[in-house]
Structure 1
Amino acid sequence: MNELAHDHGDAAGFLRQYQACFATRADGSSWPNWETTWRRGTQYFRGLIRPGSNKSIAGIASMVDIKQEKLERFVRESAWKYKNVEEHLRQTAPEAAQGAASALILDGMGIPKKGHDSVGVGRQWCGATGKMDNCQVTVNLTLASPGQHRNADQISWPLGMRLYTPKKWIGDNSSIYDSIQEQQQYAKRRKEAGIPNDIEYQPKHKIGGDLVEEAADSGLDFGCVLGDSNFGKSTQLRRRLRAEAIPYALELVPSKFPVIDEETPLQEESESGSDDPDETRWEISEDEEIFSPEDLAQEVEDTDTEREWEHIHWAEGTKETLSGEFYRTRVRVVTDRANREVGEETGWLLIEKTTDDDEDDSTVSVKAWICWNLDESSLEELVQWTHLRWSIERFHEDIKQHLGADEFQGRSWDGFHRHLAVVMLAHAFIATHRLEAGQDLSSFEVVMQRIVREAAIQQLMENLNFDRETATDAAEEMLQGFTDWRIPDL
């Protein structure tokens, strides 16, 4: 593909369908200077997709030749609502990203930070650094569909990004502070960040559940919800999804998820009660085996049993066919191992075996998933779904490396979420161009480079009356000379 599917890489046509997000309130009314808000939104958007490594507000202002203060007011003080952008993204999700093979994917994203005043910052687990670190953390939801020919052809469409706010930032429990002085410091930070008064502490599973429900209520077509073990271990999230009849395939901690065989006889209902009054729990006999995914994997490894691993390939990678060893069985989840209680949650337990060979020994490790309301799915379908979760890691990498998702330097609640809202729009714009390419989709980076190149060519042709060949040469020389941009692989 030598050219973009569109006549030019300009974003005006794409952005026009989202104008209401920046020009009207939820009730349909507007405000006197909505045209200015809309203009600033388009400028911010264009700055994010232009080449350059600095996607802070100062960097964006420099790229689009506007005073930094005007963009700061756009993200900090304007009347537009970031949730309106998320709603429009749900309504405009492309058909190619939907369907029975697609999934909603939940994940957290860490943004390392220095200092203590950026909204929601704290010492917590940071996926970006792989350790406890000073950072902000968001809970993100994407819609993803598998590549038809290659793993790299997966399509992601952003649906929501919300800040996780540690308890100290909420201030509703004085016992969590080390001192009165610390409590006062956080109260001051909370006020300066403009955290709305109605914001209460929400664990990540609650934020994720809200995002999933909003997506499901919008009518999106998808097969199931995916998430790593941070979400899979949440009994509250799994119960919530079951209450909404939303299928899931959630990763587990293999050594810490007790189950029994689904056909295990149940005794009388438990009298110890449940934190969910609508859920029934039963006791099981002392003779019945409780096991973990890790226990089951070891049993399958035992050649004396009838259980066997199945070799499944789920996609074509850039270097080789992606495949692995899998086993599944029907289970019921144990809710209280000590009291031998089980609940209503049943489904496929899927486990994957990976072997790391070194010079001295080989180490077998296990991954596991609980798959609910996917009873009729084949083993191959479960494997493809669970490995589709990889696409949100790619999404995080793309929005950080190319769109500056982690470069917002403001401290406010609204500013942070508004920045991410425009980042999601920019990602959706690139995804739209990727889809127009048809088979063998180019990478996010290459498509973004093509858009920038084409926009520069069109501007030179329109403003300086260059013919296309001259404009192309000039655009590429200009882009390479003044930025970190490189010529895309056309």
Structure 2
Amino acid sequence: MTEGRKSIRNIAALMGGTAAEQSLHHFISSSTWEWLPMRAALADYVTRVSPPQAWVVRPLFIPKAGEHSVGVGRQFVPGWGQEANGQLAFGTWAATDGGSIPLQWRLRLPESWLMEKSRRRKAEIPDSAEAETLDECATATALSTLSLSGAPLRPIVLDTEAGDLHEVLRPFATSRAPVLVRVGERTRLVVADRAMPGYRAGSFPARSIMESVRALRRPVEWEDPTAGSRRRTTFAAAIRVQLPQQVSRAIPTALVGSQSDLLLIGEWHDDAKTPTALWCAASTTSSVSDLLRLSRLRLQVAQDERQVAEHVGVRDFEGRSFRGWHRHMTLASAAHAVSVLSPLIDTEWDYARHMSA
């Protein structure tokens, strides 16, 4: 594998110079092969070798100095709390306690790339591409993963703070997939259980609701994948809530989510009054402990992004086309899978045999 950036030029230099660079450039940016069938085959293979515990959806920001790479622009970066120049995508990772692999990607396109006809045409952006909020892009990434032919139904962990919880949950109403999403402390919710401590009618910020049930906290043990599976303890409490839209009956429950009540979970790492993280679960009967352990898969994904995805070039595409970007990300996902799964795969069961079965 080449050292440094996994650009077409650097890989071609290792393989055979100018001729190899031209061939590789054509294969990535100008050929006609479709990436979705390859992603579906990869999903089928990965989930057979290492069945995922959950699908973890998280943003991937790719810093760029210029303005010609498809989708580049100055935009808000989730997790950074500020704007930066670059590309912003969401990826879905097949996650387990022992490793994670990205299987689906979605590039968020700023309106400037969609409104300027010449720019859109040069980048080969399909007519179906539309402007999306961060919430819409994250949700669409998750749902498109479920539509891959090799993707089993698993809980979905949205590792990005929901700006509009209603808009995030509504598309999952008919998916049957349990959903666990991070929520902001100002997200307004309505307590569903009138017997809970401090119950008051009306909607309140999620942080205030969790502070009112702090006395209900219980310890939850979990293994930290970033610290050699070291066991750690978090204190958690949960309460049934509803969206304000449900309570006001402004929209049918079926359009909000697949169950009327949601589970708001708060977690504390010490004796502080304020919770350090807030989660909302929909369409699930899992325990609070199991849900928090699922949320910890995001730590495994973050670690694999740094240690594996970066190494195989997930941020190294230098082309300008929408199709080229997707082909590059698909090949980077395959390389990531090889790196993660190689220790698990029996030499007698190779990819060719699997595909011909």
TM-score between both structures, scaled by the size of structure 2: 0.83
Pick one of 76, 98, 120 that aligns with 1:190.
120
- How far off is 1:74 after superposition? 1.4
**What is the aligned partner in structure 1 of residue 58 from structure 2?**
107
Amino acid in the other structure paired with 2:276: V
Mind listing any 5+ residue stretches in structure 1 that lack a counterpart?
Answer: 1-49, 147-153, 172-185, 265-285, 302-306, 357-361, 438-490
CA contact (8 A) 1:224 1:246 kept: yes
Task: Give the conservation status (yes or no) of the 8 Å contact 1:251–1:370.
Answer: yes
Question: AA paired with 1:346?
Answer: D
User: Residues 386, 95 of structure 1: CA spacing in aligned structure 2 closer, same or farther, 3 A cutoff?
Assistant: same
**Residue matched to 1:136:** 87
Change in 2 beyond 3 A, CA 1:169/1:363: same
**Is 2:233 the counterpart of 1:323?**
yes
Per-residue CA deviations over 1:152-173 (Å, capped at 9, x if unaligned) read xx221322112111112111xx
Q: Distance in 2 between matches of 1:328 and 1:96?
A: 35
* Equivalent residue letter for 2:113: W
Q: 1:255 aligns with which of 175, 186, 189?
A: 186
C-alpha distance in 2, partners of 1:320/1:213?
33
- Corresponding position: 1:313 with 2:221: yes
| 1:350 paired residue number | 265
Deviation at 1:223, TM superposition (A): 3.6
- 3-state DSSP of counterpart to 1:125: strand
Report the Cα distance in structure 1 between the residues aligned to 2:263 and 2:65, rounded to whole angstroms. Answer: 43
Distance in 2 between residues matched to 1:289 and 1:235, nearest whole Å: 17
SS at match of 1:92: helix
Q: Which moved more, 1:388-397 or 1:157-166?
A: 388-397
Conserved 8 A contact 2:180-2:295: yes
Are the counterparts in 2 of residues 205 and 236 from structure 1 also a CA contact under 8 Å?
Answer: yes
Residue 57 of structure 2 aligns to a residue whose secondary structure is strand
Q: Which has the larger radius of gyration?
A: 1
One-letter amino acid of the structure 2 residue matched with residue 297 of structure 1 = M
SS for the counterpart of 1:335 is helix
User: Residue 103 of structure 1 contacts residue 225 of structure 1 at CA under 8 Å; is this kept in 2?
Assistant: yes
**1:103 Cα offset (Å):** 0.7
> Structure 1, residues 204-250: CA drift from partner, whole Å, max 9, x if none?
44444444334334363454111134347342331111222221011
State whether residues 355 and 365 of structure 1, in contact with CA within 8 Å, keep that contact through their aligned partners in structure 2.
Answer: no
Structure 1 SS opposite 2:269: strand
2:321 to 373, 387, 412: 412
Structure 2: stretches of 5+ with no match in the other structure? 254-259, 347-357
Q: Secondary structure at the match of 2:266?
A: strand
Distance 1:130 1:288 in 2: 32
Measure how far apart 1:342 and its partner are: 8.5
Residue range with higher mean Cα deviation, 426-435 or 398-407: 398-407
One-letter identity of the residue aligned with 1:118: S
Aligned residue type for 1:349: L
Partners of 2:87 and 2:218 in 1: how far apart?
41
Q: 1:343 to 1:328 in 2, by over 3 A?
A: farther
Q: Count how many residue pairs are aligned between Structure 1 and Structure 2.
A: 332
Q: Rate the CA distance shift 1:238–1:434 in 2: closer, same or farther, 3 A.
A: farther
Q: Determine if the alignment matches structure 1 residue 86 to structure 2 residue 1.
A: no
| Distance of 2:167 and 2:204 partners within structure 1 | 22
Paired residue type of 1:369: W
Q: Is 1:74 aligned to 2:74, yes or no?
A: no
- Corresponding residue of 1:373: 283
1:122 pairs with one of 63, 67, 73 = 73
Contact 1:89/1:158 (CA < 8 Å) preserved in 2?
Answer: no
How far residue 133 of structure 1 moved from its aligned partner, in angstroms, is 0.7
**Residue aligned with 1:329, SS:** strand
Counterpart Cα distance in 1 of 2:330 and 2:166: 30
Matches of 1:319 and 1:374 in 2, distance apart? 26
Partner SS, residue 267 of structure 2:
strand
In percent, how many aligned pairs have the same letter?
A: 23
SS of the aligned residue for 2:156 comes to strand
One-letter code aligned to 2:206: P
Aligned partners of 1:109 and 1:396 also within 8 Å:
no
Deviation at 1:129?
Answer: 6.1
Distance in 2 (CA, whole Å) between partners of 1:393 and 1:374 is 25
Residue aligned with 1:107, SS: strand
DSSP-derived class of the 1:295 partner: helix
- Which of 176, 179, 182 is residue 245 of structure 1 equivalent to? 176
Q: Per-residue deviation at 1:343?
A: 6.3
Alignment of 1:392 onto 2:301:
yes
Aligned mates of 1:125, 1:156 — CA distance in 2: 26
Deviation (angstroms), 1:289: 4.7
Alignment of 1:201-220 (within 5 A): 201-217=131-147, 218=149, 220=151
Q: Does 1:226 align with 2:157?
A: yes
- Residue 292 of structure 1: CA displacement? 2.9
Deviation at 1:331, TM superposition (A): 1.9
Q: Which residue of 1 aligns with 2:335?
A: 426
Structure 1 counterpart SS, 2:203: coil
**Residue 190 of structure 1: how far off its partner (Å):** 2.1
